[in-house]
Amino acid sequence: MSASDSPGAVRAARPSRRQFVADLLGASGLVRPFSRLRHALARDLVILAYHRVLDVADEDAFDFDLELVSASRAQFRAQMTLLRERYHPVRFADLAAALAGGPALPPRAVIVSFDDGYDDNHRFAFPILRELGVPAMFFVSTGHVDSGLPYAYDWLVHLLLCTRAARLEIAELGVDLELPASRTARRAIAADVLDRMKAVPASVQSAIVERLGVEWGMPRAQGHPDCRPLSWPQLREMHAGGMEVGSHGMWHNMLARLAPADMQAEVAGSRRAIADALGASCEVISYPVGGVDAYDAAVIAAARDAGFELGCSYVSGTNHLPPREPFALRRLPIERHMDAAWFAALVGMPEAFSYTSRRRIG
Ligand SMILES: [Zn+2]
């Protein structure tokens, strides 16, 4: 799940240059030959990272974190079509098999992955993936699948957007300010708060969200139509339809910010919950939040001990084959402001068109 860029300024400045060059390259017809040459030389693995696939008719009226919307349905269909035509979409299981001495991955291998497990993944992404024959991995936080509760970071954004309170005071983060009326300004404040949260223990993060919910009369409750986790029946259907399901912890806690015993319980418990629910083993974990402050050597050791074979970060980049760090795989975050030319350039020439997302949150 993503804490935010400061929406307006960063988004305006960041895409413009890449978008301009991507448009030029797209118009020139050079993306495809460049990308073929690049992928022939590099022979690496590209893993794309999505969160939500959703049509947001009115961004200003959307009551949750817009930065988690990776693509509209039309964008997603076009992106998957491009992967089908120009690349070889593969599964994490194919990567694990290759690492175990099985067949090597094909050239231009790409894996599609989703973090968090929003129910729009089932409603909107899964039908497109199934129709186009593109496999994908869904990393879910099993406590949320069990409970139906919204994700804490997204609920925090919701609280900040919708509260009638005049002030925001979070002593633990050194935040004390007047809440502006403008939603754009509130989204920027939410981004800043989420960024500050990354420095405090997971228990403090949860306590802040719960306290604000109670103080403002908006306790975190299941059932909001715009913020629902996937259910186990949906995941079983997706799994039976050829999709992979992996761990994103139990409660989307930053694993490196948990006490060691709690961290190990989240890692092992999430794997067990998925295996029990699907009747299949679960080999891959994506560390919640996923930046370099979200996982460390102890988290990786716990993942290995629990029986995982691969681990994904939210650090931007591609992966040498065989991966030098199979428990710190890099991914390319996909964001909703990337148009078709940019997406084609990003996957085709990731060195030039990817960037370290300010959010650093997966
Ligand atoms: Zn996440």
The predicted pLDDT at position 9 comes to 31
Instruction: Report how far residue 141's alpha carbon sits from residue 273's, in angstroms, rounded to the nearest whole number.
Output: 10
CA of 28 to the centre of ligand 1 (A): 37
Alpha helical stretches, state H, 5-70: 7-28, 31-42
The predicted pLDDT at position 357 comes to 55
CA of 235 to the centre of ligand 1 (A): 17
Six-digit token string for 272? 């067990």
CA of 140 to the centre of ligand 1 (A): 8
Angle at 147 between CA 241 and CA 331, to 5 degrees: 55
Neighbours of ion ligand 1 (CB under 5 A): 1, 115-116, 288, 362
The predicted pLDDT at position 12 comes to 38
In terms of CATH architecture, what is 7-149+223-353? Alpha-Beta Barrel (3.20)
CA of 154 to the centre of ligand 1 (A): 10
The predicted pLDDT at position 10 comes to 34
| Sign of the dihedral defined by the CA atoms of residues 171, 173, 176, 179, in that order | negative
CA of 206 to the centre of ligand 1 (A): 15
CA of 292 to the centre of ligand 1 (A): 14
Instruction: Report how far residue 195's alpha carbon sits from residue 89's, in angstroms, rounded to the nearest whole number.
Output: 33
CA of 330 to the centre of ligand 1 (A): 15
**For each of the chain's 362 residues, which pLDDT tens digit applies?**
443 333 333 333 455 677 777 777 777 777 787 777 777 777 789 999 999 999 999 999 999 999 999 999 999 999 999 999 999 999 999 999 999 999 999 999 999 999 999 999 999 999 999 999 999 999 999 999 999 999 999 999 999 999 999 999 999 999 999 999 999 999 999 999 999 998 898 899 999 999 999 999 999 988 899 999 999 999 999 999 999 999 999 999 999 999 999 999 999 999 999 999 999 999 999 999 998 999 999 999 999 999 999 999 999 999 999 999 999 999 999 999 999 999 999 999 887 777 655 554 66
CA of 288 to the centre of ligand 1 (A): 5
287 touches 330 (CB < 8 A): no
CA of 127 to the centre of ligand 1 (A): 22
CA of 126 to the centre of ligand 1 (A): 18
Six-digit token string for 103? 């067949």
The predicted pLDDT at position 8 comes to 32
The residues near 331 (Cβ < 8 Å, ≥ 6 apart) are: 47, 48, 49, 113, 312, 313, 314, 315, 316, 317, 362
Q: Which of 323, 305, 262, 252 is nearest to 43 (CA)?
A: 323
Query: Which DSSP letter does residue 310 get?
Result: E
Six-digit token string for 340? 């078709």
CA of 236 to the centre of ligand 1 (A): 20
CA of 79 to the centre of ligand 1 (A): 21
CA of 63 to the centre of ligand 1 (A): 18
The predicted pLDDT at position 50 comes to 98
CA of 32 to the centre of ligand 1 (A): 32
CA of 3 to the centre of ligand 1 (A): 9
CA of 247 to the centre of ligand 1 (A): 10
CA of 52 to the centre of ligand 1 (A): 11
